[in-house]
Amino acid sequence: MSGIEGKVVAITGASSGIGEASARLLAARGAKLALGARREDRLKALVDEIGLQGGEAVYAVTDVTRRDDLSALVLLACERYGRLDVLLSNAGVGPISPLADLRVNEWERMIDVNIRGFLYGVAAALPVFGRQGFGHFVTVISTAGLRVAPAQSVYAGAKNAVRTICEGLRMESAGKFRVTGVSPGFVRTEFASSIIAPKMQAAIAARMEEIAIGPDAIARAIAFAIEQPPDVDVGDIVVRPTLQA
């Protein structure tokens, strides 16, 4: 048996990219899944696929900017499977642009999804982990926060806020639960589609085409953290293309 088999995992942003790849991999290794995302058609198709392959998964339409949606996703996992072992917070957006463009609405969107959405997940899962006496927060962050680039100031700032909160969460856990941050570099996902600035979108899409790795690479890193024994906390993982600076 793997260290994943039988674990109950809730995943946000599960309808595409890293979230979808993680759902497939974890289901194949025996996890029971509660999947959340905004696109119900994709969620349903993924749950059906997992079921046909002998896995277990349920879904709830989830907008991480709505606290009640995160609470409902965690509740779904607990009601269906009796507990929650892992919250994989993967949902995020990156409408990057130079600060001088003053795309304030996009700044607010990144704060709402990338920070507030993450915190809503913490607020939903933390009481459950407290009652259980165990649990694991796994959060997809970004290498953008490790090496800040022009036009990525707000995005990197939001990701670094999450990184800081994760470390505080780990310190406050007093060994009761685990906290892992996974920072991907360029990955073949729908990230570029969230960028509104045309030149920036084209530049990021071109760079992804040149060097990006598949989302399954990040899924494997996530699985590695989850499958460790209870007394092992993998704090930070950075996974990026070998060609990325």
At 98, is the pLDDT very low, low, confident or very high (cuts 50, 70, 90)? very high
Strand order in the sheet with 136-140: 56-61, 32-37, 8-11, 86-89, 136-140, 178-184, 236-239
Average pLDDT, the chain: 95
- The yes or no reply on domain 8-238 and CATH 3.40.50.720 is yes
Position 2 scores a pLDDT of 73
CB 205 within 8 A of CB 183: no
Position 207 scores a pLDDT of 85
Nearest to 150 by CA among 186, 194, 101, 188: 101
Q: Is the entire prediction scored with pTM above 0.85?
A: yes
Tell me: pLDDT of 1 over 70: no
Which tens digits make up the pLDDT trace of 121-174?
999 999 999 999 999 999 999 999 898 989 999 999 999 999 999 999 999 998
Terminus-to-terminus CA distance in the chain, angstroms? 38
Tell me: pLDDT of 193 over 80: no
Position 138 scores a pLDDT of 98
Separation of alpha carbons 200 and 230, rounded Å: 43
* Helix, strand, or coil (residue 81): helix
Nearest to 54 by CA among 31, 73, 76, 34: 31
155 is catalytic: yes
Domain boundaries, given as residue ranges, for the chain = 8-238
Position 208 scores a pLDDT of 84
Among 5-14, 47-56, 82-91, 140-149, name the one with the lowest average pLDDT. Answer: 140-149
Question: Strands, E, within 94-171: which ranges?
Answer: 136-140
The full length of the chain comes to 245
Annotated catalytic residue: which of 59, 81, 120, 155? 155
